[in-house]
Every structure is written in C-alpha cells, then in structure tokens.
C-alpha cells in the first residue's frame, strides 16, 4: 500500500500543495505532511494552514534561518529519519526551494518514488538558487508533473523519459479558484489601507539577486517611486522578511508613496491582486496569479522561468532599471487585459491524484 509524504517548507509550497491536500483528504489517501520549517513566522507559515483549513503537519523539522549547508544538512538528516520511521513509499515535493531539494535528496537515498510537482521550469540562469534546486531535483525524480508545455519541453530537452512526464497545469490555479470567493467575502484589506479598487499598484520583491544587492534594491525602489508619480497611484508592498532585513541594513530611503506593510494572509493577498491596477513583482507565484486573475504584471527580473506569461501578453520583463520599470508599468496599465491562462483550468490536483492512483 502507498504511504505518501508531502514535503513543504515555505509560503508558496503551502499554497500550491493545499489543493492536493484537499483532494487527498476527500479521497482518503494515506498521506502526511512534513514541514521543514524553512518559513516559520506566523504570517509566512501558520496563517496559511489556518486560512486554507489544512491539518497541521505531522512533523516540523524547524530548519529555518540557517546557513545553506547547515540547512540542507539538517533537513536531509531529519527527513530521512522520518521517511524510514513512517515507511514512506512516495514523496511529493513542489517547486524549487531548499526544502524541495532536501526532500528529494532524502528520498533518493532510500529509493523511494520521488514525485516532483511544478517540474521542468527553467530560467536558464544558474546563479539563482532556485534554478539549481529545480535542476538537481528534476534529475533525481521518478515522476514529473509539469504545469505547461514549455516545462514539458525543457525536460524532454534534458533527456527525461517522456513516459514519466504528465502535463497537469499548475495547482496555483486550483488555489485561486477555490479561495477567491471567500477572499471577496471576508477580506477587508482595501478598507484597512484605504485603497480604491483599480487605483493602486501591488508590489512584491524578495529574490536574493534583487534585495541582497544594495544597488539593485535601490534601483527597484527608485523605479517604484517613478511609477507612483505616473498617475499619483498608491503602491502597496507587503514586504518579505528577507527584504525588510536588507532594507534596514542598507538604510535605503523609502519612496514616499510606497506603503510598506507586513506580509498578508492568502485571502487578503488574493483580494489585493484582484483589485489592483497593476502588479510589479519578482515572485514566481505572483506572476502566475496575476496571469490567472487577469491583472497585468511587470516582472523586475532579467529572466523568468514562466515565459508563457510573457507570450500571452500578461507579463513583461523590466529588469531593475528605474526608467524601464516606469515605462513598462505605464504600457502594461494601458494594455488590454484578456489572455488565455497557460497554467490550466483549476483541476490540476484532481488530475494529479488520478495519475498517482495509477502509479
């Protein structure tokens, strides 16, 4: 009999794994959740379990805020012990974080069937920790659930056996569809921050290549300042802990019209996306959500592993040049806002379960 372990560690993994947990619960699947504790603040972790009504993880390894080698080492050692104790037959990891790599390495040791969700994404930029984690994980995985044809093609180009790749869409679309109505009903975030529908811009920035680098972080903030002057828009920035630490450390001046707030829960964030005029981000998940919810997006990176969002007209790459950020924001706000969602129809989790059942 199968015994499945779902490994999560960070905010986006909890959100993207939630639809799968729901269908596992509904279908009485023999599974448990293992949390690496990579994210640990209430608003980066527990808040999502509460809002999405997920049972608490059976294990938490508490491997957050550690230097890379120590973090991976602690995670792999502890995860291996749990796999062995629980006699796990299948492991599912989602995405490209350190938790994903550790969950995969630990499974590799025991010859457990390793399933990679959101496999095959490539930015072709090996300086990104996420790109290295994705490639390493893909190359020791047994089963690949890919969100798009691009991801499928990337794996085939790297000689992965086609028989093991399944095109399922991205569970983030399931998560949006399952929670948007509840968000509309319950979230008061617009009122709380005195924001008008379609009259503010939502920002997130947390990638190490952007916020660990004083030069790039300063340019990004200059870009936000320039955008705020376009139409006198409010900019709202729920700031990731990594970015807040660096903002303080670098003592960069904060643009006047940008409102820095604590990270918000998923329902508030969905509400913020849905009613925003534009999104400026370096997040992977937020590029997908913007595309899914019909909100134009400017990505403050030099590349993206989600090229489908650019091709369909939902997204544009601006890098960190302030003038480019301003121009592209202006252009995207005046563009038409309809495109076909490349990430699927919101039924990915069901599709994934039916394939797992046949393994």
Q: What residues act catalytically?
A: 206
Give the whole-angstrom CA distance, residue 177 versus residue 261. Answer: 26
| Residue 308: its H or E element | helix 307-311
DSSP string, 165-195: EEE---HHHHHHHHHHHHHHHH--HHHHTT-
Give the whole-angstrom CA distance, residue 343 versus residue 292. Answer: 8
- Least Å distance, CB 30 to ligand UD1, is 28
Window 55 to 84, contacts with ligand UD1 (CB under 6 A): 64-65
269 is a site residue for ligand UDP (CB under 6 A): yes
- The answer to whether the beta carbons of residues 342 and 318 sit under 8 Å apart is no
15 binds, among ligand UD1, ligand UDP, none (CB under 5 to 8 A by kind): ligand UDP
9 is a site residue for ligand UDP (CB under 6 A): no
204 binds, among ligand UDP, ligand UD1, none (CB under 5 to 8 A by kind): ligand UDP
Considering the complex, state which of residue 12 and residue 322 has its C-beta at the smaller distance from ligand UDP.
12
Considering the complex, state which of residue 285 and residue 344 has its C-beta at the smaller distance from ligand UDP.
285
Considering the complex, state which of residue 80 and residue 281 has its C-beta at the smaller distance from ligand UDP.
281
263 is a site residue for ligand UDP (CB under 6 A): yes
- Least Å distance, CB 358 to ligand UDP, is 29
Closest CA to 105 of 70, 137, 144: 137
Largest CA distance in the chain: 61
65 binds, among ligand UD1, ligand UDP, none (CB under 5 to 8 A by kind): ligand UD1
Give the whole-angstrom CA distance, residue 120 versus residue 135. Answer: 8
Site for ligand UD1 (CB under 6 A): how many residues? 21
324 binds, among ligand UDP, ligand UD1, none (CB under 5 to 8 A by kind): none
40 is a site residue for ligand UD1 (CB under 6 A): yes
Q: Which residue is nearest to ligand UD1 (CB)?
A: 97
Give the whole-angstrom CA distance, residue 264 versus residue 251. Answer: 24
123 is a site residue for ligand UD1 (CB under 6 A): no
10 contact partners, CB below 8 Å, separation of at least 6:
38, 39, 44, 97, 99
DSSP string, 213-276: SHHHHHHHHHHHHHHHTTS--EEEEE--HHHHHHHHHHTPPPPTTEEEE----HHHHHHHHHT-
Window 110 to 129, contacts with ligand UDP (CB under 6 A): none
169 binds, among ligand UD1, ligand UDP, none (CB under 5 to 8 A by kind): none
* C-alpha 26: how far from chain center: 24
Single out the residue of 6, 15, 44, 189 in contact with ligand UD1 (rule: CB under 6 A).
Answer: 44
Single out the residue of 264, 279, 290, 293 in contact with ligand UDP (rule: CB under 6 A).
Answer: 264
> Which strands, in side-by-side order, build the sheet including 258-261?
258-261, 234-238, 200-204, 278-281, 297-299, 315-317
Helices 241-250, 214-228: crossing angle, 10 deg rounding: 100
Considering the complex, state which of residue 195 and residue 264 has its C-beta at the smaller distance from ligand UDP.
264
| Residue 202: its H or E element | strand 200-204
15 is a site residue for ligand UDP (CB under 6 A): yes
276 is a site residue for ligand UDP (CB under 6 A): no
Contact set with ligand UD1 (CB under 6 A): 10-12, 38-41, 44-45, 64-65, 96-98, 129-130, 206, 240-242, 245
Contact set with ligand UDP (CB under 6 A): 11-12, 15, 204, 206, 238, 263-264, 266, 269, 283-286, 289
């Amino acid at each position: 009999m199968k015994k499945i372990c779902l490994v999560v560690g960070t905010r986006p993994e909890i959100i993207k794994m939630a639809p799968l947990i729901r269908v596992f619960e509904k279908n009485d699947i023999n599974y448990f959740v293992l949390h690496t504790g990579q994210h640990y603040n209430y608003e980066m972790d527990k808040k999502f379990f509460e809002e999405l009504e997920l049972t608490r993880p059976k294990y938490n390894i508490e491997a957050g805020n550690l230097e890379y080698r120590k973090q991976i080492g602690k995670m792999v050692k502890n995860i291996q012990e749990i796999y062995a104790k629980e006699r796990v037959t299948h492991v599912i990891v989602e995405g490209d974080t350190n938790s994903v790599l550790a969950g995969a390495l630990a499974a590799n040791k025991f010859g457990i069937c390793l399933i990679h969700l959101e496999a095959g994404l490539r930015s072709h930029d090996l300086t990104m920790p996420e790109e290295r984690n994705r490639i390493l994980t893909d190359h020791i995985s047994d089963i690949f659930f890919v969100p798009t044809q691009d991801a499928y093609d990337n794996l085939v180009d790297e000689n992965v056996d086609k028989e093991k790749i399944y095109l399922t869409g991205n569970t983030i679309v399931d998560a949006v569809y399952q929670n948007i109505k509840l968000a509309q009903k319950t979230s008061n975030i617009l009122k709380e921050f005195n924001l008008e529908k379609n009259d503010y811009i939502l920002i997130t920035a947390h990638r190490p290549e952007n916020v660990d680098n004083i030069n790039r972080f300063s340019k990004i903030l200059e870009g936000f300042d320039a955008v705020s002057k376009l139409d006198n828009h409010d900019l709202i920035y729920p700031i990731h802990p990594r970015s807040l630490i660096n903002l303080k450390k670098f003592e960069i001046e904060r643009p006047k019209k940008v409102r820095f707030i604590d990270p918000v829960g998923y329902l508030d964030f969905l509400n913020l996306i849905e009613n925003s005029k534009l999104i400026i981000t370096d997040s992977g998940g937020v590029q997908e959500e913007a595309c899914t919810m019909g909100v134009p997006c400017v990505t403050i990176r030099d590349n993206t592993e989600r090229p489908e969002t650019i091709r369909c007209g939902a997204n544009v790459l601006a890098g960190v040049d302030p003038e480019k950020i301003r121009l592209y924001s202006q252009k995207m706000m005046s563009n038409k806002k309809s495109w076909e969602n490349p990430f699927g129809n919101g039924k990915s989790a069901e599709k994934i379960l039916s394939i797992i059942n046949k393994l």
